[in-house]
Copies of this chain bind each other. A is one copy, B any other.
Amino acid sequence: MNIRDIAAKAGYGVGTVSRVINDQPNVSEQARARILTVMEECGYEPNSNARYLKMQSQTPVAAFVMGVGNRLFGDILGPLQTTLAEANEDLVVTYLDDDADEVRAAIAYQNARHPKGMLFLGGEPRYFAEAFHEIEVPSVLVTGSAADLGFERLSSVTIDNEAAARCLCEHLLEHGHRRIGIIGGSKTGNQTSTLRLAGAVAAIRARGISFDIARDYEPCDFHEAGGYEAAQRLLDRNGDLTAIFALGDVIAFGALRAIVDRGLRVPRDISLAGFDDTSFSQYAVPRITTIRQNAEQLGRAAARILLANMHDGAPAAHEVGPFELIERESVRAL
């Protein structure tokens, strides 16, 4: 069932059918009604390949969301979309698996669809360095910094992850903690975790307290089980820890369980902190102290920058948004 079949059935030419498909003018009401009826009857859906192949016009802004389970990205998408909508721009979002190469995917998408602009929620600067030069439309990396990459068309908005982790650790230190363990961040190391870890370690060492990566740090995957196991391993080899800083809320959530399973309590025996202010830290019992990335603000900033790039030809911008320490119930003063 293609456009020619519909045209034949309706008694019109394919040009006219195409015009009604695309809601274009210059179609008589009679023709429009008739063709709509036939399309409905046949359950006709235009072939999108043929359509996009032919259409040289640009398609809506595309957002690529890395990692399907990430709550923060979901929270950013709303304000992002709203801001775009205020400027009459639509947004189509594509979810990518954690292990996908987002830039290659974006290149293929660009060739197929010609989007007006692209947004990357998450995404590894490394991939951008390798292949972003093939991307021809204004883009913005959200939640990571592309400032050092120097691409003409790649903006970014992020928080200062290093400073935020430092801030959180200082909070722990101010509450009297001296033996702090850190969990999270994959072995291969992505930009974000690396920065958070660096900030945390710097804060601790700045107080003249020793931090031995091999002993006091435990990498793990970004999910509950990862946090659970990392906390167990860390606690197994460090009987004297008074606080654990998890580089992400999901990890903290798993760690909380591990701590309780050891017969310990948070924060009475061990203080715990997370990062991102997702529902895990908001709803956990006890609620977990964390760093809030202002999803609302990140989303709006990303949209604003992209809009300026697209409409006014503004140059790439790199915005560093504020973060906020959210003190809750999981850290106690020693």
- Cβ-defined contact, B43 with A253, below 8 A: no
Confirm or deny: A257 has a beta carbon within 8 angstroms of a beta carbon on chain B. Answer: yes
Q: How far in angstroms is the closest Cβ of chain B from A289?
A: 16
- Cβ-defined contact, B282 with A284, below 8 A: no
Q: Which of these, B68, B224, B283, contacts A68 with CB under 8 Å?
A: B68
| Chain A facing B: main interface SS | helix
- Please encode chain A, from 38 to 55, with 1 for each CB lying within 8 Å of some chain B CB and 0 for all others: 000001011111111100
Confirm or deny: A320 has a beta carbon within 8 angstroms of a beta carbon on chain B. Answer: no
Confirm or deny: A15 has a beta carbon within 8 angstroms of a beta carbon on chain B. Answer: no
- Please encode chain A, from 61 to 85, with 1 for each CB lying within 8 Å of some chain B CB and 0 for all others: 0000100110100100000000000
Determine which residue in A49, A107, A253 has the highest number of CB atoms from chain B within 10 A of its CB, and name it: A49
Bound-state Cα–Cα, A104 to B45, Å:
9
- Cβ-defined contact, B48 with A50, below 8 A: no
- Cβ-defined contact, A256 with B283, below 8 A: yes
Residues of B within 8 A of A104 (CB): 45
Bound-state Cα–Cα, A283 to B47, Å:
46
Q: In A251-269, which residues have CB < 8 Å from any B CB?
A: 253-254, 256-257, 260
Closest to A256 in B: B285
Closest to A109 in B: B48
Closest to A279 in B: B224
Q: A228-B283, A256-B285, A260-B285 are in contact. Are A43 and B107 (CB under 8 A)?
A: yes
Residues of B within 8 A of A285 (CB): 256-257, 260, 284-285
Confirm or deny: A112 has a beta carbon within 8 angstroms of a beta carbon on chain B. Answer: yes
Residues of B within 8 A of A93 (CB): 97
Residues of B within 8 A of A95 (CB): 68, 95
Q: A49-B52, A68-B68, A131-B43 are in contact. Are A224 and B111 (CB under 8 A)?
A: no
- Cβ-defined contact, B47 with A50, below 8 A: no
Confirm or deny: A34 has a beta carbon within 8 angstroms of a beta carbon on chain B. Answer: no
Bound-state Cα–Cα, A131 to B44, Å:
11
Confirm or deny: A240 has a beta carbon within 8 angstroms of a beta carbon on chain B. Answer: no
Bound-state Cα–Cα, A189 to B100, Å:
35
Bound-state Cα–Cα, A52 to B53, Å:
10
Determine which residue in A65, A111, A254 has the highest number of CB atoms from chain B within 10 A of its CB, and name it: A111
Residues of B within 8 A of A48 (CB): 49, 108, 111-112
Confirm or deny: A134 has a beta carbon within 8 angstroms of a beta carbon on chain B. Answer: yes
Bound-state Cα–Cα, A43 to B282, Å:
44
Bound-state Cα–Cα, A65 to B68, Å:
10
Residues of B within 8 A of A257 (CB): 283-285
Q: Which of these, B43, B71, B107, B224, contacts A283 with CB under 8 Å?
A: B224
A residues near B, CB below 8 A? 43, 45-53, 65, 68-69, 71, 74, 93, 95, 97, 104, 107-108, 111-112, 131, 133-134, 223-225, 228, 253-254, 256-257, 260, 279, 282-285
22 contacts between A and B (CB under 8 A): A43-B107, A43-B131, A43-B134, A45-B134, A46-B111, A47-B53, A47-B111, A47-B112, A48-B108, A49-B50, A49-B112, A53-B53, A68-B69, A68-B74, A68-B95, A69-B69, A224-B279, A253-B283, A260-B285, A284-B284, A284-B285, A285-B285
**Which 10 A-B residue pairs are closest in the complex by CB-CB distance?**
A95-B95, A49-B53, A43-B134, A49-B49, A257-B283, A224-B279, A48-B112, A49-B52, A224-B283, A49-B112
